[in-house]
Amino acid sequence: MTRYWLFKSEPDCFGISDLKRRKKATWDGVRNYQARNYLRDEVQLGDVVVFYHSSCAEPAAVGIAKIVRAAYADKTAWDSHSEHPDPKSTPKNPIWYVVDVAYVHTFQHAVLLKVLHAMPEMNGSPLTQRGNRLSILPLSEKQYRAIKKEGGR
DNA sequence: GCCAACGTTGGC
DNA sequence: GCCAACGTTGGC
């Protein structure tokens, strides 16, 4: 059964336009255990991802991607030159995981955070709760449909 | 750039 | 196991 997820990324670092250009990307650098657990244990091939821009002028859900490869070890963890090295993670005992995502489409209208806040479907979602820092979070099918509708495709 | 909220670390 | 200190996230 298809599941729905929301993945956050800083557009200055990697935005939906970067994914569009590259068609496919490895979602690396997740260094939070709860997000890791979702990635490793629950995100499956074919799942649908809402791409969200965070830490920027207009935080918003901006488009759709899909999972094209389920979890495998995050090699950047044991690369001391990577952006998020973690010496505790090794090829034999990886702590951190990645998935591969592919571009699907960009929303006609970015669904701004304030709009997400106003959507009754998003009540109780970690996304719209204060102080939330989870970078990968599950969406219900209802939430996904509501966001997609606001996005205009 | 600021600051509140949060997760992690490390001393005890 | 507790908790203060610290670093990071993320909205504004």
Chain B: positions less than 7 Å from a protein CB are 4-8
Q: Does the domain spanning A4-150 belong to CATH 3.40.630.30?
A: no
**CB-based contact A94:A72 (threshold 8 Å):** no
Looking at residue A116, its pLDDT comes to 97
Share of chain A above pLDDT 70, in %: 100
Whole-prediction pTM: 0.94
Instruction: For residue A35, give the nucleotide whose C1' atom is nearest its CA.
Output: B7
Query: In terms of pLDDT, which residue wins out, A135 or A131?
Result: A135
CA distance A34 to A40: 10
For residue A122, give every residue at least 6 positions away whose Cβ sits within 8 Å of its Cβ, in sequence order, or none: A116, A128, A143, A146
Dump pLDDT digits (tens) for A112-122.
999 999 999 99
A91-111 pLDDT tens trace: 988 999 999 999 999 999 999
Helix, strand or coil, per DSSP, at residue A5: strand
Domain boundaries, chain A: 4-150
